[in-house]
Amino acid sequence: MSELVLVLGDQLSPELAVLRNADPARSRILMAEVAGEVSYAPHHAKKLAFLFSAMRHRAEALRGAGFAVDYVTLDDPHNRGTLCGELDRAWRRHGQPPLRITEPGEWRVKAEIDAWARDREADLTWIEDDRFLCSITAFKHWAHGRKGLRMEHFYRTMRRRHGLLMEGDEPAGGRWNFDAENREPLPPPLARAPIPQPMRFRPDATTLDVLELVRRQCPDAFGELEPFWFAVTPADAKRAFSGFLRKSLTRFGDHQDAMASGEDFVYHAVISIYLNAGLLDPLACCRAAEDAWRDGAAPLNAVEGFIRQILGWREFIRGIYWLAMPEYAEGNALEADLPLPEFYWSGRTGMRCVAETVAGIRRNAYAHHIQRLMVTGNFALLAGLEPKAVCDWYLGVFADAYEWVELPNTLGMALHGDGGLFASKPYAASGRYIDRMSDYCQGCRYDPADATGETACPFNYLYWDFIARHRQRFEKHPRMAMIYRNLTRQKPERVKRMRELAAQARADLDAL
């Protein structure tokens, strides 16, 4: 053996850069399940099971390709409990060989491994992670000198660079963005056809072993471990994506922002978990969606909305993360300081939108982007929840969450905690938005049309309290001027009552 190659749990791509030209006769692979990565965030039980099972299946595939693989299980009695501990043990065991590692997605992991290598004077080479469609260096070049970092501008650059949905030099359909056509609520249950569900996979023997491991080793993990139905191999992840293309893509665009009771997925692809762990290739997914449009199998607004999420938003968020870290993680521009309410874990609250969303997260380790941004994120913004607690929650409870994607989405987009580095304004909304985009308000103890009475929706009075509380900060913001004019036009006694209700609620959020 002439080199040791560490493969991380979110680097499960068959095309991983560090292995592309690796020689099985010279390269030994190290993969490790470690307690430190289990405990650094409050991970959902399904997330842990998914990662460990997908890692074990990847290890078997590597062995099948002729590689020697050192695989350390979570319950191995010799497991040191950290990535660097297991890296050190393998490095010494194999005679301190040169190390090659694909760059990790998280700043924390790279910093820890760099420090370990310096301390031991280890020969470490980082390999660029080219599974992403915009390198960190290319994003920094794009961002350099810009007055504002806006996803829409970056997205157009990426469309041109990769030739997606382009007709010569112009965007297909004459427009770059069809988001205005992607905001239709769902019809009532009796007026709509059954919504297709994501493809589900029966656990094989490897996954069953992992489920038992998680039950035994992580008994207090958040959420419901079973039924476990995620794909854990690239082949099954591709089958799941193909199912979305056939069954849901046509309606995804119209109802991209819709929410409904009992519908955990609506028409969403539910492939972010596979993309972010490396089981799916993002460019291949974008091209397959484009092919569906060109073949007449899906409308342009659906395909553009899908591609924008991957080619635009996913790549943009990763670029922001590596551009701004590590200071970014400490952001709290709005000086929010309230602790996370218990109902973020239990779902026990009279706010039906929050209860339904958290219940779905407990079941699936998943919620779609509007539930994340405009329900749990919006509430955290309006109430003034402390950003680190909120970010830790998002990082743990979602199976697709890694810090590079979670932190900017939560801190920057949902909480405006970075002061508007890339979001043009706070994404604050009252209960009327949730009522318009969902059926959650039907049967709720709170009335989305009430802001001051006995049945006042907390999102309503917390919204206006947020606006009033941050008046000095946002009153002159051009995109918020109308909101402040509306605040000024309201009767003083009405504003006073809403702020009183907000103060009462913020003093005991779990009473809501």
Query: Which CATH number fits the domain that encloses residue 98?
Result: 3.40.50.620
7 shares its domain with 56: yes
User: Where does a domain end: 264, 289, 324?
Assistant: 324
Contact criterion met (CB below 8 Å) for 379 and 357: no
Stated as kind and residue range, the H or E segment containing 102 is strand 99-102
Of the three residues 268, 294, 324, the one that is the final residue of a domain is: 324
Residue of 491, 393, 505 whose CA lies nearest to 459: 505
Domains: count for the chain: 3
Residue for token pair 């309290």: 465
**3-state SS, one letter per residue, for 372-393:** HHHHHHHHHHHHCECHHHHHHH
In a domain, 262, yes or no: yes
Closest CA relative to residue 320, chosen from 416, 409, 414, 392? 409
Q: What is the pLDDT of residue 157?
A: 97
Please tell me whether residues 445 and 463 are part of one structural domain.
yes
| Distance (Å, whole) CA 358 – CA 449 | 23
pLDDT in the model for residue 191: 83
Domain-embedded: residue 228: no
236 within domain boundaries = no
Q: What is the pLDDT of residue 180?
A: 87
Looking at the fold, whether 38 and 72 belong to one and the same domain comes out as: yes
Is 105 in the same domain as 20? yes
- Quick one: 252 and 142 in the same domain? yes
Looking up residue 170, the CATH number of its domain turns out to be 1.25.40.80
Are residues 122 and 145 part of one domain? Answer: no
The answer to the question of residue 242 being in a domain is no
SS3 annotation, 220-237? CCECCCCCCCCCCCHHHH
Chosen domain end from 295, 324, 353: 324
- My answer on whether 409 and 484 are in the same domain is yes
Q: Are residues 299 and 372 in the same domain?
A: no
Q: What is the domain extent for residue 309? A: 136-196+248-324
Backbone angles phi, psi at 31, to 5 degrees: -135, 140
Are residues 306 and 400 located together in one domain of the fold? no
Task: Give per-10-residue mean pLDDT for the chain (512 aa).
Answer: 93 96 94 96 98 98 97 98 98 97 97 98 97 97 95 97 96 94 88 94 98 98 98 98 97 95 96 98 98 97 97 98 98 98 98 98 98 98 98 98 98 97 95 97 96 98 98 94 96 97 98 98
- Is there a domain that residue 235 lies in? no
**Cβ atoms of 449 and 415 closer than 8 Å:** no
188 plus 115 within the same structural domain: no
334 belongs to a structural domain: no
Q: What is the pLDDT of residue 493?
A: 97
Query: What does the pLDDT read at residue 277?
Result: 98
Strands (E), 155-196: 166-167, 170-171
Judge if 94 and 145 occupy the same domain: no
What's the confidence (pLDDT) of residue 1? 63
CA dihedral 83, 88, 94, 98 (to 10 degrees): 90
Q: Which residue has the tokens 């609506």?
A: 266
The answer to whether residues 44 and 396 touch, using CB atoms and an 8 Å cutoff, is yes
Answer whether residue 331 is part of any domain: no
User: What's residue 462's pLDDT?
Assistant: 98
Cβ neighbourhood burial of 219 (10 Å; 0-12, 13-18, 19+): exposed
Residue 376, domain CATH: 1.10.579.10
Task: For the chain, state the CA radius of gyration.
Answer: 24
| pTM for this model (two decimals) | 0.96
In a domain, 253, yes or no: yes
Give the separation between CA 223 and CA 221, rounded to whole angstroms: 7
Same-domain check for residues 462 and 383: yes
Per-position b or e across 465-478, b if 16+ CB within 10 A of its CB: bbbbbbeeebeeee
- Please report the pLDDT score of residue 421 as a whole number: 96
Give the integer Cα–Cα distance in Å for 451 and 411: 27
